[in-house]
A and B are shown apart, each in its own frame.
Chain A
Amino acid sequence: MRRRWLAAVAVSMAGLLTLTACGGGDDKAAGDGKSGQKKVEVFSWWTGPGEADGLKAMREIFEKDNSGFTFYDAAVAGGSGDQARALLASKLQANQPPDTFQGHAGAELQGYIKAGKLEPLNFLYDELKLKDVLPQELIDQISVQGQVYSVPVNIHRSNILWLNPSVLKEAGVSAAPATIDEFIADLDKVKKTGKIPLSIGSQWTAVHLLESVLLGSLGTDAYNQLWTANADWSGANVTKALENFKTILSYAGTPQEDWQPAAKQVADGAAAFNIMGDWAYGYFHNPAPGGLGKTSKTDFDWAASPGTDGTFMWLSDSFTLPKGAPNRDGAVAWLKVAASKEGQDAFNPKKGSIPARKDADKSLYQDYLAWDLEQWSNDKLAGSIQHGVVANDAWRAAINDAVGLFQQDHDVAKFQQALAAAAKNSGQ
């Protein structure tokens, strides 16, 4: 009888201990079998096709170079990392950070920085001489008061106009539109053929469209100015840009569930244009089931979104060093791999993005990615709104709300007021 009691107590104690150990990031479990090995918990949202392969390739390099550490993949599924960030927020709030976590480089990290959750990485930038191999403009745009808090692994481009050549031919459009006005004229031509001029997905894809329209209407300098202290959201040029946005939205088809069905409308020849980030290339180009298996340049084509040629609207996945990381040395070792030419060249061809470093091996990047890499080294840079570069989370959420409401009432004046208020209240 007593033994049974003891057993019950032991079981519940064990249960309690596992509960408290949960997410504690301590390395008792990892020590099994291989003594002296410490695990490095790498938190990301790379679980989809392509990105998970890229992560695996970097992991192999990491484990080859660091025999003392084991890689622990703490990836949380869900594109763009909504679920992952919600979980991460609660972990950080409880002061139980993973050893390193993925975040969009730029303003998205500001919340963590202000809360004192991240270590500055200037020491690592100096040690690895990253300032020489990353574009200066990129470092400027991700620095907060002279400090850098993350290591960018890849670069995606947001301002891409995807188009269907045969639909455009049918509509009598010979080349991709170079300006917003040309774009609107082309949308109108397509509309007359009965095809969908511009495909669009759920609400966030409208915000994505907005950032390209803002950049195309305002120009690079005025766009970049919007995110600084002396921004003027109430100006006439912003009004004009929002009027353009309204006109362009009026040519949009029925909103699809997400960006993939919207992109698919272009690939299938149901729609002429779609403005989406360059992750759409992998979706168009890769064989089924991960992609549509289309041929580039014939089934689909691309150009810089109207009015933005010569400007690269970027976003970047990066890794950070949380304060109080259980295995700081392991995290730094991971960051070194993430920052290295070898690591980035292993990751990016699989993920379908380009390295942030300027010294990448160009032969690894074909077709769209070759074009992309070329532009990255020559273009001016502007940061994405929806993908966490220029606006912090609160600001981005407010812009999303404003766009969602605008999609219902199409009231430009109210929309502009909401955007101006969002800029004022962002606390950025």
Chain B
Amino acid sequence: MRRVRRWLPGLLLVSPSIVAIAVFVYGLLGWNFKVAMSDRHDEISEGSFVGLENFTGIWDQERWGISVRHAIVFTVVFVGGALVLGWFLAFLMEKGIRGEGGFRAIYLFPMAISFIATGVVWRWLMNSGTGEQAVGLNSLFSHLGLDFLQWQWFRDPDWGMAAMAVPAIWQMSGYVMALFLAGFRGVPDELRESARVDGCGEWQVYRYIVLPMLRPVTLSALIILGHISLKVFDLIVAVSGKQIITDVPAVFMWTAVFDSHDPAKGATIAAYIVLSVAVFVIPYLVWNARKGNRS
């Protein structure tokens, strides 16, 4: 009885969230995979099991290839850009800039904005008009006499998705900065001191002492940015709507479900998105669990 009293209240306290997660996360995830493996290509039919047919068939669709390529370009530019910029900002802060608190707040502010709001503003900033039609950043370039910098932004057939990553970098690099700043601060001064005593230059201190100690932070930032990037939907829709030129899997999923009324196709794309995020997240969880065991 007493033992029951020890664990029961705790279990009761967490049970609503266990049930909710079981139903709404894993239950629906399972249901999604079930639909993805059926031939339910309209909303009326029940659909029967077809195995992985949808998963292989979708690669024959030109639009899918394009959206996957876009997602990869976006992810590489966004994650890379946010990591580099965030690291650089944190590095500047760490060097002891005056009014650090103010800068930190300014860099973090974009985090407080939703991707939709960011997208609406950047849609205007990244307007593709050039020359006389220029507005937004292109107009700024022309005022600065930098007309050669004008380009089509997200309408550029080759590098449009890289432009699309710019607002995302703008929004998330402050957050990455905060992560790195905490990482920098976590490096004990004694370590740096002793490195200096041993004859390391300032650069070598960073190269051999600080950077290796930032590895866990970098990994966390990579995971967080990576999964945001692979699921990106709101930013794209706010900037360009559902156009092939900026298509990504999440937007394709939306048109598959609500425009084409093809639940199986939508579920297949959703499954691919989940799997691609899992590729990022699961190694991280494993690594975290190992680390937890070790300590």
Contacts and interface: CB of A to CB of B under 8 A. Distances in A.
B244 A393 contact: no
A93 interface: yes
- Would you call the interface of chain A mostly helix, strand, loop, or mixed? helix
Nearest 8 interchain pairs by C-beta: A404-B244, A397-B259, A203-B243, A397-B260, A86-B258, A394-B260, A115-B44, A254-B128
Interface stretch (B49-57, B129-137, B275-283): B129-137
Among B66, B127, B133, B155, the most chain A Cβ lie within 10 Å of the Cβ of: B133
Interface residues of B, number: 29
Interface string A259-279: 000000100001000000000
A255 interface: yes
B237 to A, nearest CB: 10
A254 B245 contact: no
Given A270-B132, A401-B63, A405-B62, A111 B261 contact: yes
Given A202-B240, A254-B152, 5 more contacts: A202-B241, A202-B243, A203-B245, A257-B127, A393-B259
A407 B244 CA distance: 9
Interface string B134-157: 000000000000000000100101
B123 interface: yes
Nearest to B131: A254
A404 B245 contact: yes
B262 interface: yes
Contacts of A235: none
Contacts of B193: none
A407 B258 CA distance: 23
B63 A405 contact: yes
Nearest to A257: B123
Nearest to B243: A203
Interface in B254-286: 255, 258-262
A405 B260 contact: no
A277 to B, nearest CB: 17
Interface string B46-89: 00000000000000001100100000000000000000000000
A93 B247 CA distance: 27
B42 interface: yes
A158 B67 CA distance: 31
A85 B44 CA distance: 17
A34 interface: no
A33 interface: no
B43 interface: yes
B262 A394 contact: yes
